[in-house]
């Protein structure tokens, strides 16, 4: 039996990302020499002696440049032809224009995370393992690529584990911090548990359908075996997306993980899982199958409980990272709202919502991270009077929070509008009404932070400081996204066209 290696040409996104990983891995071997030399660079004298002051900037800039080049490469390969569906390995791998657009979106998120991490990774305790952060993050991204392009449950599960296991290493990156190690332990244990549920569900579905190809499972009979498989599959995915009641790991993990990793986990990991959930429900359990009425009722209540519970618990939080964790759970409910009806409009709304959420949430985390790095403070009360000492950061944080709350004219308003419109057109009027009511509740707790920054008095506010270049670049990108994504209609129009090709 011979292997047709030309099939890898259909996987240009994955192959190009793997090439970026290899280049970074090799560059890390030679940049700044051996570990002893990197340690010597931890002092200013050492940096001058070995000429590594510019070396650190190159190590931070290289992954951004390479990933940006790879993003441009895959964007140039987006096909708008309805017949152009790349497949490989007997249909286990599929790629459409929408899938490529989503991969490019995740790349942009990873670039922003790399930019906001540059100063943190350049610290003495992180400089030696700086290269590992980039390679492990990109391996996680590669797993998400495989998930997105899967046409077979085996390919999907391989991608899921490739995305989940390196994520554990990122969460426990600050291994000397008890909170980081604890967060990593909680994440891996619950990830294993959810993966076991998911895999057991897939095995039941295989027993009912006799195949693992999405396209061939649509005719699967509705019986106890297949229904139990569907329930376990949704439960496993609920852990990945942080939907209630599968959300209990989220706040502790977000609080303990390094802030850039928390930002990556809250947006990029969640977005890829939500898209895959949409495609599998559409292809395997879609409107033409007997399963649609079963899972749509279940998701109705999951979405209602996720948005409501997360909003109520967010009001009680005093730590900003835990606050953003419950905000992420609520946003996951809105994100999955686009799944209801599994329509082309819903898919376009989901990807657009993810794009806007990426800009707003990463912008908020960039502000949290830079303040944490310069003051060590992450409490909401610590932000009292921030506008007096750091007005630019306070203003950018306000823009991001307004977008997350869905206040016009920021992009978050339009993303929520398109999601609500997709669910409304699918006939879920009551669900849209409940989501609208919860949007008002979310506005209240987002404004609590704005109130702290602009109105609350503080005798010892956070001192004035200057952000590093990487964080400033990340904040500029996020601000552009928050403002322009809602104004420039070409983004949503293009996604609507690609959604018609994918479904």
The three-state DSSP-derived secondary structure of 415-428 is: HHHHHHHHHHHCCC
pLDDT score recorded for residue 81: 53
pLDDT score recorded for residue 249: 84
Q: Are 212 and 154 in contact (CB under 8 A)?
A: yes
pLDDT score recorded for residue 204: 92
pLDDT at 52 over 70: no
The Cα-based distances of 177 to 98, 168, 174, 210, 320 in angstroms read 40, 15, 6, 48, 18
Average pLDDT on 209-217 reads 87
- Assign 84 a pLDDT band (cuts: 50, 70, 90): low
- Assign 501 a pLDDT band (cuts: 50, 70, 90): low
Residues 6+ positions from 9 with CB-CB distance below 8 Å: 15
Q: Are 266 and 324 in contact (CB under 8 A)?
A: yes
pLDDT score recorded for residue 4: 67
pLDDT at 1 over 60: no
More confident residue, 313 or 289: 313
- Assign 98 a pLDDT band (cuts: 50, 70, 90): confident
The average confidence (pLDDT) of the chain is 84
pLDDT score recorded for residue 396: 92
pLDDT at 307 over 50: yes
- Residue 456 neighbours by CB distance under 10 Å: 16
Average pLDDT on 324-350 reads 87
Q: Give the span between the Cα atoms of 63 and 69, in whole angstroms.
A: 10
H or E stretch including 103?
Answer: helix 97-121
Least confident of 335-344, 354-363, 423-432, 494-503: 494-503
Give the count of alpha carbons within 13 A of 202, CB side only.
19
- Assign 51 a pLDDT band (cuts: 50, 70, 90): very low
Three-state secondary-structure class, residue 132? helix
Task: Retrieve residue 6's tokens.
Answer: 């030309």
Q: What residues form DSSP beta bridges with 152?
A: 213
Residues 6+ positions from 489 with CB-CB distance below 8 Å: none
Q: Are 71 and 56 in contact (CB under 8 A)?
A: no
Task: Retrieve residue 362's tokens.
Answer: 């990463």
Q: Give the span between the Cα atoms of 178 and 335, in whole angstroms.
A: 33
Least confident of 50-54, 191-195, 313-317: 50-54
- Assign 80 a pLDDT band (cuts: 50, 70, 90): low
pLDDT score recorded for residue 79: 61
Q: Find tokens 């051996």 and name the residue.
A: 34
pLDDT score recorded for residue 37: 52
Task: Retrieve residue 313's tokens.
Answer: 């618990």
pLDDT score recorded for residue 286: 76
Average pLDDT on 49-53 reads 47
Average pLDDT on 114-142 reads 86
pLDDT at 75 over 80: yes
CB-based burial, 297-327: b 16+ in 10 Å, e otherwise: eebbebbbebbbbbbebbeebebbbbbbbbb
pLDDT score recorded for residue 445: 86
More confident residue, 304 or 53: 304
DSSP string over 321-332 = HHHHHHHHHHHH
Least confident of 47-51, 233-237, 429-433: 47-51
pLDDT score recorded for residue 193: 87
pLDDT at 40 over 70: no
Average pLDDT on 264-293 reads 84
More confident residue, 30 or 99: 99
Task: Retrieve residue 209's tokens.
Answer: 């359908």
CB-based burial, 461-487: b 16+ in 10 Å, e otherwise: bbeeeebbebbbbbbebbbebbbebbe
- Residue 164 neighbours by CB distance under 10 Å: 21
pTM of this prediction? 0.90
pLDDT score recorded for residue 36: 44
- Assign 485 a pLDDT band (cuts: 50, 70, 90): confident
pLDDT score recorded for residue 471: 87
Helices (H), 455-489: 469-484
pLDDT at 82 over 70: no
Q: Beta strands of 164-297 (E only): which ranges?
A: none
């Amino acid at each position: 039996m011979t292997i047709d290696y030309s099939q890898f040409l259909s996987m240009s996104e994955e192959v190009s990302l793997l090439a970026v990983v290899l280049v970074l891995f090799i560059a890390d071997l030679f940049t700044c020499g051996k570990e002893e030399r990197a340690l010597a660079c931890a002092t200013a004298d050492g940096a001058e002696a070995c000429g590594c002051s510019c070396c650190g900037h190159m190590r931070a800039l290289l992954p951004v440049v390479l990933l940006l080049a790879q993003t441009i490469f895959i964007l140039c390969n987006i096909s708008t032809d309805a017949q152009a569906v790349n497949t490989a390995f007997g249909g286990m791998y599929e790629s459409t224009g929408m899938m490529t657009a989503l991969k490019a979106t995740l790349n942009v998120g990873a670039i922003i995370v790399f930019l906001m991490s540059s100063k943190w990774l350049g610290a003495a305790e992180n400089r030696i393992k700086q290269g590992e952060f980039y390679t492990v993050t990109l391996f996680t991204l590669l797993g998400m690529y495989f998930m997105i392009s899967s046409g077979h449950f085996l390919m999907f599960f391989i991608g899921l584990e490739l995305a989940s296991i390196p994520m554990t290493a990122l969460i426990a990156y600050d291994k000397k911090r008890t909170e980081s190690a604890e967060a990593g332990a909680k994440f891996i244990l619950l990830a294993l548990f959810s993966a076991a549920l998911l895999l057991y569900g897939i095995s039941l579905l295989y027993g009912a359908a006799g195949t693992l190809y999405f396209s061939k499972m649509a005719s699967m009979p509705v019986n106890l075996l297949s229904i139990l498989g569907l329930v376990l599959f949704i439960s496993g995915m609920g852990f990945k997306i942080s939907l209630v009641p599968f959300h209990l790991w989220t706040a502790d993990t977000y609080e303990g993980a390094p802030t850039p990793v928390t930002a990556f986990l809250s947006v990029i990991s969640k977005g890829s899982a939500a898209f895959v959930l949409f495609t599998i429900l559409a292809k395997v359990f879609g409107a033409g199958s007997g399963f649609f009425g079963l899972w749509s009722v279940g998701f109705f209540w999951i979405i209602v409980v996720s948005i409501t519970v997360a909003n109520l618990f967010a009001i009680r939080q005093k730590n900003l990272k835990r606050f953003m964790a419950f905000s992420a759970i609520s946003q996951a409910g809105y994100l999955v709202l686009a799944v209801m009806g599994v329509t082309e409009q819903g898919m376009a709304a989901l990807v657009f919502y993810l794009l806007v959420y990426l800009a707003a949430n990463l912008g908020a985390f960039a502000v949290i991270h830079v303040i944490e790095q310069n003051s060590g403070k992450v409490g909401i009360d610590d932000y009292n009077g921030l506008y007096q000492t750091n007005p630019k950061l306070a203003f950018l944080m306000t823009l991001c929070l307004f977008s997350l709350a869905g206040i016009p004219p920021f992009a978050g308003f339009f993303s929520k509008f398109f999601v609500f419109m997709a669910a409304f057109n699918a006939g879920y009027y009551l669900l849209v009404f409940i989501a609208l009511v919860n949007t008002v509740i979310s506005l209240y707790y987002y404004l609590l932070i704005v109130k702290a920054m602009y109105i609350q008095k503080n005798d010892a506010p956070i001192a004035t400081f200057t952000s590093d270049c990487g964080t400033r670049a990340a904040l500029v990108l996020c601000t552009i996204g928050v403002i322009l994504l809602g104004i420039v209609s070409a983004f949503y129009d293009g996604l609507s066209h690609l959604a018609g090709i994918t479904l």
